[in-house]
Chain A
Amino acid sequence: GAVVSQHPSWVICKSGTSVKIECRSLDFQATTMFWYRQFPKQSLMLMATSNEGSKATYEQGVEKDKFLINHASLTLSTLTVTSAHPEDSSFYICQGLASSYNEQFFGPGTRLTVL
């Protein structure tokens, strides 16, 4: 299957700082990227859907000014957690949609810990 990478795989930051997570589709063009958050022992919760070149669509309850999503190219989407707080500590997973063959591929996830 196709490959999606995420960077960094884990990050520890101080409260109040911003953290950027990159999601790259390595061998396909992802016209749509999905960002999920997973708290310990819980399921994946969709945060937002982003289409290349347009603004992301956020799920209810997700603050768009706190979780900035940029999808500037068909192979790269970024999620920036602004002014991070300990409650933002979570596992963040991206997923790329390869529209050419209507398949979806997950990245390996990024573990964010905010102190």
Chain B
Amino acid sequence: AQSVAQPEDQVNVAEGNPLTVKCTYSVSGNPYLFWYVQYPNRGLQFLLKYITGDNLVKGSYGFEAEFNKSQTSFHLKKPSALVSDSALYFCAVRDRNFGNEKLTFGTGTRLTIIP
């Protein structure tokens, strides 16, 4: 069974500072990994994904994430936080096998950027 852990329910960062939202995963074989952002009463917006290749993945709104196979992690990062980055962030994992496209989500991390 695949699983995702987001160890921090809440992360507070001062505007302009770098931010990190942590994610670790467990899956048999090699995973597809995703980050999504959710604003209040809205659906999920795709930020970035890791499929294969370069371990550092760049996504929307200046976000990036680094796939670390040995640590089974896929932490989300941004060099300089904006107040508008305040939202709920979800990490998700998916098996690579065709026919098993179910996404498993972490519990979410609420990111608050302090002006």
A residues contacting B by CB (< 8 A) are: 1, 6, 32, 34, 42-44, 46, 49, 91, 93, 95, 97, 102, 104-109, 111
Q: Assess the B46–A109 pair: CB atoms within 8 A.
A: no
Q: Which residues of B contact A104 (CB under 8 A)?
A: 101, 103
Known: A42-B107, A43-B90, A43-B108. A109 touches B102 (CB 8 A): no
Q: Which residues of A contact B106 (CB under 8 A)?
A: 43
Say which size band chain B's interface belongs to.
10 to 19
Q: Assess the B43–A107 pair: CB atoms within 8 A.
A: yes
Q: Assess the A44–B101 pair: CB atoms within 8 A.
A: no
- Which residue in B43, B104, B105 is a CB contact (below 8 Å) of A109? B43
For the complex of A and B, 10 pairs with smallest distance between CB atoms: A108-B43, A109-B43, A106-B44, A43-B107, A106-B43, A43-B105, A44-B105, A43-B108, A93-B43, A97-B101
Q: Assess the B41–A111 pair: CB atoms within 8 A.
A: yes
Can you list 15 residue pairs at the A/B interface with Cβ under 8 Å?
A: A6-B43, A34-B103, A42-B107, A43-B106, A43-B108, A44-B105, A46-B103, A46-B104, A104-B103, A106-B36, A106-B43, A106-B45, A106-B46, A108-B42, A109-B41
CB distance from B112 to the nearest CB of A (A): 14
CB distance from A23 to the nearest CB of B (A): 11
Q: How far is the CA of A6 from the CA of B42 in the complex (A)?
A: 11
